[in-house]
Amino acid sequence: MTRPMNPFPLPGWERTPMRPLRPWERTAHRDYYVDVDGAEAAFQQFQQEIGDLSGVLEDGRLVLVTGESGCGKTALVNRCADWTAVELAKRGRKGLVVDLTGCLPEDEELSIQQRLEQVCDQLFDRLVDTRALRPEEVEATRGDRDNPQRVFPRLAHLLRDDVVLLVLLPSPNELLDEVVRYAKQLSSPRVLFFAESAFFRADDIAELVRRLEAWVPPVTLQVGKLDSGDQLRFAKDRLLRHTDAGTYPQLSDQAVELLSKICQSVAMLQRILHGTYERKLTSGLSYTDTDLVTVDDIRAYLNGLGMQP
């Protein structure tokens, strides 16, 4: 007899259910993307704009993903980075993903220049640790490790011949100037930079493209709120994945309807589904494949958080 289980955590992250998909680190996550909130269309746009990777290899690129908090920006960035690494491997190149998203202190106000310097400094350490730099360049560059004006334009020269760098940058603040600085200073062959932001809207993106018209234009992708039917599509996907691994209830039609009304982002949907199932599972009552998760179950979970559905 299979054991009762919560069907909503991701493989390997059962204790951290709210972490975004990270397929370049955990290949099992590649199959967990669901076509919700416009992310699939954004991913296809990325594939089309990057194309055969010749632009990345010859000039480098910056990819900026925008959208509201919780809408799946990080998961999309990770998917794009993973796809690029896989495509590079087919061409005999090593796509090295370097995650710098958490490298800046959260409790300090830094200028744009200071932010760039810390990113540069942290990037140097990661490249040394992964042996991505030419051996003769490590000590020669160490004195400039926090000098973005010196390091970023020379990255292609510093990297080993088979390495293509895929850097996940910290989210830029609300200043458009920071993204412009990134796009100009980070332009280097064999380097693809990714950034995400909840601050930029359509007019900001238009201004960004205008200010960079003399440079290699950034790839700009946008994800949004959940559309009608996305909540059901996401829930069905997760509920169908583990039918042979364990037992768990399905969602009642009324529960799906409630989720459609209250969940505006995929992060909120994942949080409520995981939390509701976990609460029902740990209660030890009515948790078989013949039971249903009801509106009352969702409301009980939300009430426990002090939220009113």
pLDDT tens per residue across span 239-250:
999 888 899 999
Indicate the DSSP class of residue 36. -
Task: Give per-residue burial for 87-126: e unless 16+ CB within 10 Å, then b.
Answer: bbeeeebbbbbbbbbebbeeeeeeebeebbbbbbebbbeb
Over the chain, what is the mean pLDDT?
91
Residue 213 token pair = 């018209």
The amino acid at 204: D
The answer to whether the beta carbons of residues 96 and 90 sit under 8 Å apart is no
Residue 83 token pair = 């796809």
**How long a stretch of residues is the chain?**
309
The β-bridge relationship of strands 219-222 and 94-99 is unpaired
278 pLDDT higher than 90: yes
User: For 77-129, how does the pLDDT look when each residue is reduced to its tens digit (9 = 90+)?
Assistant: 999 999 999 999 999 999 999 999 999 988 888 898 999 999 999 999 999 99
Cα dihedral 301, 303, 306, 308 sign: positive
- Categorize the per-residue pLDDT at 171 as very low, low, confident or very high, splitting at 50, 70 and 90: confident
Q: Please give the share of the chain, as a percent, with pLDDT higher than 90.
A: 71
Judged by average pLDDT, the poorest of 21-25, 68-72, 214-218 is: 214-218
The H or E element that residue 187 is part of is none
Q: What is the pLDDT of residue 16?
A: 86
Give the CA angle between residues 24, 25, 26 to the nearest 5°.
100
Task: Give per-residue burial for 182-210: e unless 16+ CB within 10 Å, then b.
Answer: bbbbbbbebbbbbbbbeebeeebbeebee
Q: Is 54 exposed, middle or buried (0-12, 13-18, 19+ CB in 10 A)?
A: exposed
d(CA 71, CA 224) in angstroms, rounded, equals 6
Query: What is the model's pTM?
Result: 0.93
User: For 221-234, how does the pLDDT look when each residue is reduced to its tens digit (9 = 90+)?
Assistant: 999 999 999 999 99
Beta strands in 169-277 (DSSP E): 191-197, 219-222, 250-251
> Residue 212's closest CA among 173, 176, 188, 172?
176
The β-bridge relationship of strands 191-197 and 219-222 is unpaired
